[in-house]
A and B are shown apart, each in its own frame.
Chain A
Amino acid sequence: MATFDADIFFSSISELQAGIRAKKFSSVELTRAFCDRLERYGQRYNALAVSLREEGIRQAEDADDDIKRDRIRSPLAGVPYAVKDLLAVRKHPTTWGAKPFAGQVFDEDAFVVKKLAKAGAVLIGKLSMVELAGGGGYRFAAASLQGPGLNPWDITRWSGGSSSGSGSAVAAGLVPWAIGTETSGSILTPAAFCNVTGLRPTYGLVSRTGAMALSWTLDKIGPMARSAEDCGLILHVMSGADPDDPGSAGKRFYYVPQFAPKMADLKVGYNPADFTEGVTAESRPAFAQALEAFKSLGAKMVEAKLPDFPYGPMVSTIISAEMGSIFESLVESGKVDELADKRQIAGIKASQEVLAKDYLRAMRVRRLANQKFREMFFEMDLYLTPARSGPASKISEPLDRPGPPASPVIPAGNLAGLPAISLPCGFAENMPLAISLLGAPFTEGKLLAVGKAFQTATDWHKRRPKAP
């Protein structure tokens, strides 16, 4: 019987699989250890929605059988993980973090859950999230069936949303990696707040079949893990065409780090003001240091600005219109009033009043913005910004409190369907900070290569909270 010290819970995917292959421990032993930890500490951070211990152990037994026969299905085989409760897992509750859907059970797994199972990954739980992925606009972190996502770095602070449990569970070493989703910021934000590496793939690269729809033209699914390298391994498995998802790009991603571009061959744009006026005063020294560390990697740095468009109003109008249609029956049934956040309830009700002409105008302006982004990425490979303007807010604080002007990069990148990665880059107020890189469509390989280079030169992503 293997015994595990704390380090194992913060190991990379490659290290964990190497341990299984070297017979230091079996997948079943590893899975049991992570299940114990997830069940024991998941509630401390309001991170756990459903434990899938029994199914996980069955999958781990299969993985061990494969390994005995020298059959390694993928780099994820035998390694435990968990998914945001937005994804269907057959015969288990899929609540979307919302009380009106507390009893919802699907009889089929989401596409990515099936894909990861085929690759031998071991699903051990479903993780909490902001109710309905935040659709409608919530005012307090407590907008979740499991309560506010608590940050393992300081439980008086928020873990971010809407993939709250995915961020805190990876950060606290309750799972080695997790799946999150993003419509506008829901992977990058919890990744940044929790000191996790999060990758938002290009729109259409990962199928959304079996995932709750919030906005058909914006929703994306992506990995949250300990490093850029781990994100690459996960995306390699979970990406791919799906005829059942009308948004599927029909493409897949191959993680081939051996063919990574050289840093000296890359041009990275950034706006210096983003690292000064765009962040909180307390965060400025850490962001300045991170920018210098990034510059030292050797890429050609060029000053640039995002194309000028009303990204916030655009993304808000589009989400409201699409969500308004998706949750029409929730409003009509009156069950919308069971949600936890009053502002969100009002937002979903108000979404019923969005005019078709306003939605179409937003979608037409979006077309112009996409064109400008295409032109921008003729001039550079990637665009660098702080992922968020500062550390996670206090749980008790309303999320609409005054602060530095919100960077448009999150709504802008989501509207254009662009991939982005969040990389831990330092601390302020003893809380994690992160930088973010934005790329042209289907340039995840570049994002991951630069992310890996940054993480080779720094160790921020290896820092871990004191407890548990």
Chain B
Amino acid sequence: MAAKLTRRRLAILAGAPLAQPVKAQQEAGDDLTIQRRNLERNREALAKAELPISTEPAFVFKA
């Protein structure tokens, strides 16, 4: 009886790259999560700063 042709086996036969190890994918995903969380923390910290409505941003446009 022939061995069962799994998708993994098919991929090997076709020379296709195997899926990345789960850990590596997870690490890359984790880094993005960490960086998004950093942006969120920055947003929260800046939200606490008192800001009079008349305050203009600290850049100058020259015509």
Tell me the A residues contacting B by CB distance below 8 Å: 136-137, 217, 246, 309-310, 312-314, 316-317, 320, 342-343, 345-347, 349-350, 353-355, 358, 360-368, 370
Contacts and interface: CB of A to CB of B under 8 A. Distances in A.
A358 B58 contact: no
Contact of B57 (A310, A345, A360): A360
Where chain B touches its partner, the secondary structure class is helix
A294 B56 CA distance: 39
B35 A346 contact: yes
Contacts of B5: none
Contacts of A314: 42, 46
A408 to B, nearest CB: 12
B34 interface: yes
A363 B59 contact: yes
B18 interface: no
Closest 5 CB pairs of A and B: A363-B57, A346-B31, A313-B42, A350-B35, A313-B45
B34 A346 contact: yes
Interface string B27-63: 1100110111011011101111101000111110010
A353 B42 CA distance: 13
Interface in B10-37: 27-28, 31-32, 34-36
Contact of B55 (A310, A343, A346, A364): A364
B57 A367 contact: yes
Given A137-B38, A309-B49, A358 B31 contact: no
Given A310-B48, A317-B42, A317-B46, A364 B56 contact: yes
Contact of B58 (A312, A317, A366): A366
A353 B39 CA distance: 9
A367 B58 contact: yes
Contacts of A364: 51, 55-58
B27 to A, nearest CB: 7
Most chain A CB within 10 A, of B34, B49, B55, B56, is at B49
